[in-house]
Chains A and B, each alone.
Chain A
Amino acid sequence: MPSRTVPAMLWGIVGIAASAGATHGWLLVAAPGSLPTRWLQMSLHLLTAVAYAGATSICLKIAGDYRDRSTMRLAWRLIAASATVAVIRHCFEWLVLATGWNETRLTTLVSLRQIPIVVSLILLAAGLVAVWSSFTSIGMGLRFRGGDIVVLGIILAFVPSIFSLREEMSDAQSVYPIIRHLQSASPVLLAAPALVALALHRISREMGGGQLATSLRCLVAFLLMRLLALFLGSYPGVAAFTVASRTVWWSVGWLFLLAVFYRWRVTVSASELADRYEADPEAELAGVSRALALRSQGHPALQR
Chain B
Amino acid sequence: MLLQHGISERKWLEFLDGTMDPEERRGIRAHLEKCAGCAKLASELAVWRNLLLAEGLRLREASRLPDEELDLLLARSMERIRSAEPVGARSSFAWTVADGIRVLRFLMEPICGPGTARAAIELAVRRSADDGSRVSGRNWRLFVGNLSDATALICGLAAGRLVDRAGLCLGIEER
Contacts and interface: CB of A to CB of B under 8 A. Distances in A.
Interface in B92-126: 92, 95, 99, 102-103, 106-107, 109-116, 119-120, 122-123
Contacts, number: 162
B18 interface: yes
B18 A287 contact: yes
A289 B153 contact: no
A266 B112 contact: yes
B90 A280 contact: no
Contacts of A224: none
B146 to A, nearest CB: 11
Contact of A208 (B29, B111, B113, B152): B113
Nearest to A204: B113
Which of A65, A138, A212 counts the most B-chain CB atoms under 10 A from its CB? A138
B50 A209 contact: no
B72 interface: no
A266 B169 contact: no
Interface stretch (A38-46, A101-109, A250-258, A268-276): A268-276
A268 B106 CA distance: 18
Contact of A72 (B46, B154, B158): B154
A304 B75 CA distance: 28
The 6 closest A-B pairs by CB, nearest first: A207-B113, A283-B18, A210-B113, A281-B169, A65-B156, A270-B159
Interface of A: 62, 65-67, 70, 72, 134-135, 137-140, 204, 206-213, 266-271, 273-274, 277-278, 280-297, 299, 304
24 contacts: A65-B156, A65-B157, A66-B152, A72-B153, A134-B153, A138-B119, A138-B150, A207-B114, A210-B110, A210-B112, A210-B114, A212-B116, A213-B113, A269-B111, A274-B158, A280-B18, A285-B103, A285-B170, A286-B46, A288-B92, A290-B49, A292-B103, A294-B53, A304-B109
